[in-house]
Structure 1
Amino acid sequence: MAEKAEELVAESEDLIYVVDEIIKHGDYVLSQNPEMLPVLKEAGVVDSGGEGLMTVVKGAYDALQGKEIDYTLEGVAKTGSGANLDDIEVEEADIKFGYCTEFIINLDNPLDEAEEDKFKEFLHSIGDSIVMVADDEIVKVHVHTNQPGEAFTKALTYGSLSRMKVDNMREEHHERLIQNAEKRAKEQAEAEKKAEAKKDEPRKENGFIAVSVGEGLDEVFKSLEIDAIISGGQTMNPSTEDILNAVDKVNADNIFILPNNTNIILAAQQAEILLEDKKLIVIPSKTIPQGIAAMLGFIPGESPEDNKESMIESMSGVATGEITYAVRDTVIDDHEIKEGNIMGIGDDGILAVGEDLEATTIEMIENMVDEDSGMISVYYGEDVKEEDANKLVEKLEEKFPDVEVECYMGGQPVYYYITSVE
C-alpha cells in the first residue's frame, strides 16, 4: 500500500482520489491474502491485521469526505476463558476432500513429461493439495481426495504401488478438536490453581508473558522463566481481554509481554493503556525467534526502560524463516508458486520455493546465513518427525561447519519448520 501511495501521489494532488485508489488497491491485496498462507485459506479468512488496517483507512476516508460515522459494533463474539468442556460444540471442518492419500509408484517405465502432466491433471480432477515428485524409477504422490481408490487404480497403470497410506482428515480434525478442548480445559484449571497459589506469594519486581503456539515452543519459553503463556497463532490471535487476563495472573509490578506476531502487537499495546495497578511493557516481537532472543536480552537489576531497549536490540539481530506449503498456484515476490509447493518465508518475503521439504528449508536458510552468522536454531512442527528434523540438522552442520546448529521440538501447526539465524 505504501508503494502504491507513492505512485499515486506522484500522479495526482487530489487527496480524495489518491485515498480512494489506495483503498481499492488495499482491498485487492487483502482478497489475495489467503492464497499466500494455507492456514488462512483453510480457515476461510484474511489476515486480521490487514483487514484492521483497511478498516482504519476507510474510516479516515469517510472522515475526510465529511461523512457521518456509524460507531455501532457489528456482532463482536467473545470467547470467554471460563468455558466448560461440556459447553464446547465440536463442529466438523469444511473439508472438501476428506482423505489424505499418499503412495509411491514403482514405475514399469520412466514417465515422460506428457505422461507426468496427464497423471497430475487426473489427480487435480479428483482432489487438491497435490504434491508429485518423479524420477526414472519412482513417483511419490500426495493428494487430498474423496476417491483414494481411484488414485490407486490410475497409479497402477504406471507400475506397482508401495507405502500406501490413507488418513481420514475429517475424523482426525474431529478428534483433534476434542483433544484441544480437553487440553485447554485442563490447562485453564491448572492455570487458575497456580494463579490462586501465587496470590499468596510476595509480589516480585518483573514478570513475563509470551504468546506461543505448540507444546515445544511453550516449554522453550518456560525454560526462559516466562510466567504466563497465551495460546495464539495465525487464526487464533488473542484479544486485549485475553492479555489482561494473563496479566492478572502474574504477580509483578512490571510485566514484559512478547506478542511474537505482528497481528497481536496492537492488542498488547491496548492492554498497556488499560492497566492501572501494574506496568505492562510491550516488546514488539513479530516472530517466535524474536521473542526468544528478546528474553535472552533481559538484564536483571536494570530498569524496565533500559531492559526494553536491551530486549529490542537483542531481537533485532535475529532473522526468522518459516516453512509452509502453498494451497494453490500464485506469484509472490516474483516467485512462481504451484499448488503444493513448499515455501520458505523470511522477514521480508519469500526466500525459497520447491517441491522437497528438506531441500527448500536448506535453500531458505542459505539465503539467511551470512559471514557474521554464528547460530542456526530449528524448531520443527507437529507434522515433522524427529528423525527427519535430525537429518536436516546434520545436513545444515555439513553445509555450515562454522555455524552452531540447534534443534528443538516446537510442535507448532501450519509451519513445518520455524528457523532463526543470528
Structure 2
Amino acid sequence: MDAGGKGLVFLLEGALSALRGVEIKQEKSEMQIVETAVELEEFTSEDEIIFAYCTEFFIKNPKGTSDDFLSKIYDKGDSIVCVGNENLIKTHIHTNNPGQILAIAVKYGELSKIKIDNMKEQFRERVKNSKKSQEKKKYGFVSIGMGEGIKKVFTDLNVDVFLSGGQTMNPSTEDILEAAENINADHIIIFPNNGNIILAATQAKEISKKDIHVIPSKSIPQGITALLAFKEENDVEENVKAMTEAVKEVKTGQVTYAVRDTVFNDMEIKKDEIIALSDGDIVSHGISPEDEAIELIKEMVDEDSFLVTLFYGDSVDKKTAEGMKERIEEIAEECDVEIIYGGQPLYYYIISVE
C-alpha cells in the first residue's frame, strides 16, 4: 500500500471511531515525512532531478524538537525525513544547498555521520554503466561450479554468469538457458564442468535461438584450461575447437570422503573414509585428506607434466593448504605448483595437472 492509500485508511478509521464515540488518543509521532523519498532509479532523465544533493546527517542532543527543526528546512528541498527524540535527530533531504542545511542544523547541536551524494553525478554514472552493460559483444560465457574461490577464478577469466552447481546440486536446463539468454553476445559458450550437467547444457543450446556452444568440460580444471585456450580474435569455430581440445590436455584429481561403504577395484572403503579420485576413478583411500592428495598427485604427474594446481575447499584452512606446496614440490620436481582457494564444498582438494 502506498502512502496515499494508507492515509485514506487512517482517515476512514478515524471517521468510524468518531461515529462510534470512541475516544482517539493523541500520540506524538517520532517521524515526519514531508514527501516519500524518491529513489534514483525512478528518474528517467537528469533534468528530472530538481534537487541534486541527497543530504543525510544526525544531530546529537538537539536543542529543539524534530518538528521545530523540520519547520526551518521545510522549503529548502524535497524528500525530507526527520526522525527524532530528545537524544538524536536523523535527517534526510534532497537539496541544492547542503551547506545551508548543515548551517541550520549545527545551531541545534553536534552533527555526525554527515553524508552528501550528488544524485546527478550518480545518475550519469548509472546511465553510463547501463549503456556499457547493454552493448553487444562478440562472446559471452556461462560457467558452472561451486565455491567462492572457484567463482573468482572464472570471473577473472571474463565469465559473464557463474551458476552454482556441482555433484550434488545440478542447475536445470531452464537455469542454464536463462543465464545464456541474459548475455548480450553474438556467441554464448557454456562450460558445464561436470559430466552430469553436459546434457542440461546441450538441451539449453537446442532450445535457444541464440548461437550457443557447449564445451564438454567434466571438471573445474577442464573448464579453466578450456577458457585459457580462448582467443578473442579467433572466430567461434576456431575457439570451440581449441577449447574442446584443451579439455583433453588436463588431468583432474579430487579428494573427498565416502558417503557409504563400498568396494572398488578390490579396495574396501568404509563410510566417511577419505578417498582420492583421478578423472573419476578411485585410486586410493585413507584417513588424511593431505596424504591422499599427495598419493593422488603421484599417480597423476608424469614426465610431460609442467603445472600442478591445488584448489582447496571450504573445510581446509589456509595454513594447511599452503603447507602442501612444499610436499607437492618434493614429488613433482619439474612442475610449477600453485595453491588457490577454491572454497568448494564436499571436496577437500581439487587438483589440476597439466
Normalising by structure 2, we get a TM-score of: 0.62
The alpha carbon displacement at 1:233 in A equals 1.6
Structure 2 counterpart of 1:322, from 251, 254, 262: 254
Deviations 1:263-299 (A, max 9, x none): 11111111111111x2111001000000000001112
Instruction: Decide whether the 8 Å contact of 1:207 with 1:252 is kept in 2.
Output: yes
Matched-pair identity in %: 48
SS at match of 2:321: helix
Give the structure 2 partner of residue 237 of structure 1.
Answer: 170
Q: Does 1:332 align with 2:264?
A: yes
Q: Which letter maps to 1:408?
A: I
**1:347 matched residue in structure 2:** 279
Q: 1:245 to 1:199 in 2, by over 3 A?
A: farther
Deviation of 1:363 after TM superposition, in Å, equals 0.2
Q: Are the aligned partners of 1:333 and 1:349 in contact in 2 as well (CA < 8 Å)?
A: no
Paired letter, 2:146:
V
Distance 2:195 2:153 in 1: 20
Measured after TM superposition, the shift of residue 200 of structure 1 is 5.6
1:363 matched to 2:295? The reply is yes
Counterpart residue type for residue 256 of structure 1: I
Native 8 Å contact 1:198 1:251 kept in 2: no
Matches within 5 A, 1:292-303: 292-303=224-235
- How many pairs align? 228
Deviation of 1:199 after TM superposition, in Å, equals 7.8
Judged with a 3 Å threshold, the aligned counterparts in structure 2 of structure 1 residues 400 and 200 are, in CA distance, closer, same or farther, namely closer
Amino acid corresponding to residue 274 of structure 2 in structure 1: I
State whether structure 2 residue 184 is matched by structure 1 residue 251: yes
Question: Which residue does the alignment assign to 2:245?
Answer: 313
Q: Over aligned residue pairs, what C-alpha RMSD do you find?
A: 1.8
Alignment of 1:202-217 (within 5 A): 202-217=135-150
Relative to its length, the structure with more strand (as a share) is 2
**Following the alignment from structure 1 to structure 2, what is the Cα–Cα distance between the partners of residues 405 and 351?**
22
| Segments of 4+ moved more than 2 angstroms | 196-201
CA–CA distance in structure 2, aligned partners of residues 275 and 334 of structure 1? 46
Structure 1 window deviating more from structure 2 (336-345 vs 318-327): it is 336-345
Matching of residues 122-161 of structure 1 within 5 Å = none
Q: Deviations over 1:353-406 (max 9, x none)?
A: 111221111001100000100000000000000101011112111222211100
Task: State the 1:300 CA deviation.
Answer: 1.7
* Aligned counterparts of 2:203 and 2:130: Cα–Cα separation in 1: 28
Q: 1:198 to 1:386 in 2, by over 3 A?
A: farther
Instruction: Return the alpha-carbon distance in structure 1 between the equivalents of residues 227 and 133 of structure 2.
Output: 26
2:107 alignment counterpart: none
User: In 1, Cα distance between the equivalents of 2:302 and 2:289?
Assistant: 22
Q: Per-residue displacement from partner, 1:195-237 (whole Å, max 9, x unpaired)?
A: x936863201111110020000000000111111111122211
Q: Secondary structure at the match of 1:324?
A: strand
In the alignment, which residue of structure 1 is the partner of 2:333? 401
Q: Secondary structure at the match of 2:285?
A: strand
After TM superposition, give the deviation of residue 249 of structure 1 in Å.
Answer: 2.0
Q: 1:339, CA displacement in angstroms? A: 2.7
Q: For residue 272 of structure 1, what is the amino acid of its counterpart?
A: K
Secondary structure at 2:198 match in 1: helix
Q: Who wins on radius of gyration, i.e. which is larger? A: 2
CA distance in 2, matches of 1:384, 1:200: 37
The residue aligned with 1:188 is none
CA deviations on 1:315-345 (whole Å, 9 max, x unpaired) are 1110000001123332112222123321001
User: Gaps (5+ residues) in structure 1?
Assistant: 1-192
Q: Distance in 2 between matches of 1:222 and 1:197?
A: 19
Residues 200, 293 of structure 1: alpha-carbon distance in 2 compared, 3 angstrom cutoff: closer
Find the aligned partners of 2:158 and 2:280 in 1 and give their Cα distance. 30
Structure 2 counterpart of 1:218: 151
| 1:104-158 Cα distance to aligned partner (Å, 9 max, x none) | xxxxxxxxxxxxxxxxxxxxxxxxxxxxxxxxxxxxxxxxxxxxxxxxxxxxxxx
Letter in 2 for 1:269: T
| Structure 1 contact 319–347 (Cα < 8 Å) conserved | yes
Matches of 1:309 and 1:228, distance apart in 2: 22
Work out the CA distance in 1 between the residues paired with 2:180 and 2:302.
Answer: 39
Given residue 420 of structure 1, which amino acid in structure 2 is its aligned partner?
Answer: S
* 1:309 counterpart SS class: helix
Name the stretch that deviates more: 231-240 or 347-356: 347-356
SS of the residue 1:365 aligns to: helix
Distance 1:310 1:198, change over 3 A: farther
The one-letter code sitting in structure 2 at the alignment partner of 1:302 is N
Alignment partner, residue 29 of structure 2? none
Query: What aligned pairs does 1:13-52 form with structure 2 within 5 A after superposition?
Result: none
CA distance in 2, matches of 1:214, 1:250: 22
CA distance in 2, matches of 1:370, 1:298: 26
Listed as ranges, the gaps of 5+ residues in structure 2 are: 1-125
Return the TM-score normalized by structure 1: 0.52
